[in-house]
Amino acid sequence: MISVFESFFEIQKEIHELLFSWIPFSVGDILYIFFGIFLSYFIIKCFKKKSRNESLLKILIFLNIFYFTYQIFWGMLYFQKPIISKLPDTKITLEKRKNLAIKYLEKCKQTRLLVKEDENGVFVISELKIIQKEILHQQTWLPNFISAKKGNKISSFKPSMFKNVMSFTGILGYYNPFSAEAQYNSDLPSSYLPFTLAHESSHQLGFAREQEANFVGYLIGVNSSNNELRYSTEYFTLKSLLNSIVYEDEKFVEDMIKNYSDGMKRDRNFEKDFNFKHQGLLNDFFGFTNNVFLKSNQQEGSVTYSYFIDLLVHYEK
């Protein structure tokens, strides 16, 4: 049954890409705006006794159609065979994660020397279109035993119209199943952005689970010849490893951060400043709702890195 939905996903994705990828703005965001206006209009009408029943009926019909379409286009992909079942079995130990963290710290240090900086010495992307093109190219080199999915030949990366809201919610990007667009927050620090694009492109391939999209994004970026994409990927991997270690050995994590290169420390401080400026109730609210959404779709919560780390350790074996 799942293979039927995977095949249908490929067909509808190709159609949506042909229809919408050439449009310079986000069609999916426009659809969401219209959905919001439609719902708001009929919710307001619910307060009028004369039109209450009819408005409630229209809202229920709309929500059912929306949910059914979402499940057909995307939701059923959450039940695909997990990637971890395709990888060799191994025990996940603290020592293995520490060794990987040391490995990726050294990788980050070397790659950081190859990227550009702004006037403040912070990593800056030179040309985003080149990174997007590289991601599409790297999709075709994914290991066959992990993915037989067809890479995207058409670029459908779009900056989100909701970037200001996204900055205050902690959402870096999202895949729109109604338009097959990979949306991203264009205001993100450069250290976040390339890997975010790789992650969202993994959703475009049909990997629905968040941590599996992280892993496929890792495979896309870690062997790339593009230094900016590779650095962002290695840095994400290092941070994920340290996040998985910190509650077991905080001293190790502190020592690792002290050993960051000067450039990495500037990038880290820039990320911290960005996150601090955008803290607030929206961040807490969307963090909670995203956590609920992930768990309702057979996934770990948004605050955990363990499944990505499990995949990484298994793959490194």
pLDDT in tens, 130-177: 999 999 999 989 988 888 787 777 889 999 999 988 888 888 999 999
> Domain check: are 31 and 108 in the same one?
no
Which residues are within 8 A (CB) of 143 and not within 5 positions of it... i.e. 6 or more apart?
219
Question: Quick one: pLDDT at residue 153?
Answer: 79
Question: Quick one: pLDDT at residue 263?
Answer: 98
> Domain check: are 58 and 89 in the same one?
no
Which pLDDT band holds residue 25 (cuts at 50, 70, 90)? very high
Question: Quick one: pLDDT at residue 171?
Answer: 87
> Domain check: are 123 and 205 in the same one?
yes
Q: What are phi and psi of 250, to 5 degrees?
A: -65, -35
CA–CA separation, 156 vs 242, rounded Å? 32
> Domain check: are 55 and 202 in the same one?
no
Domain count, the chain: 2
**Pick from 62, 78, 94: which residue ends a domain?**
78
List pLDDT tens digits, range 54-93. Answer: 989 999 999 999 999 999 999 999 999 999 999 999 999 9
> Domain check: are 24 and 145 in the same one?
no
Domain that holds residue 292: 84-316
> Domain check: are 95 and 60 in the same one?
no
> Domain check: are 125 and 74 in the same one?
no
**Pick from 27, 52, 78: which residue ends a domain?**
78
Question: Quick one: pLDDT at residue 296?
Answer: 42
Look at residues 216, 73, 94, 72 and name the one whose alpha carbon lies nearest to residue 149. 216
| Angle in degrees, 0-180, between the axes of helices 94-112 and 262-277, rounded to the nearest 10 | 100
CA–CA separation, 51 vs 271, rounded Å? 49
**Pick from 78, 105, 124: which residue ends a domain?**
78
> Domain check: are 278 and 145 in the same one?
yes
Kindly report which listed range (11-20, 125-134, 207-216, 279-288) carries the lowest average pLDDT score.
279-288
Question: CA quadruple 255, 224, 120, 269: dihedral positive or negative?
Answer: negative
CA–CA separation, 191 vs 264, rounded Å? 9
Look at residues 105, 118, 111, 101 and name the one whose alpha carbon lies nearest to residue 266. 118
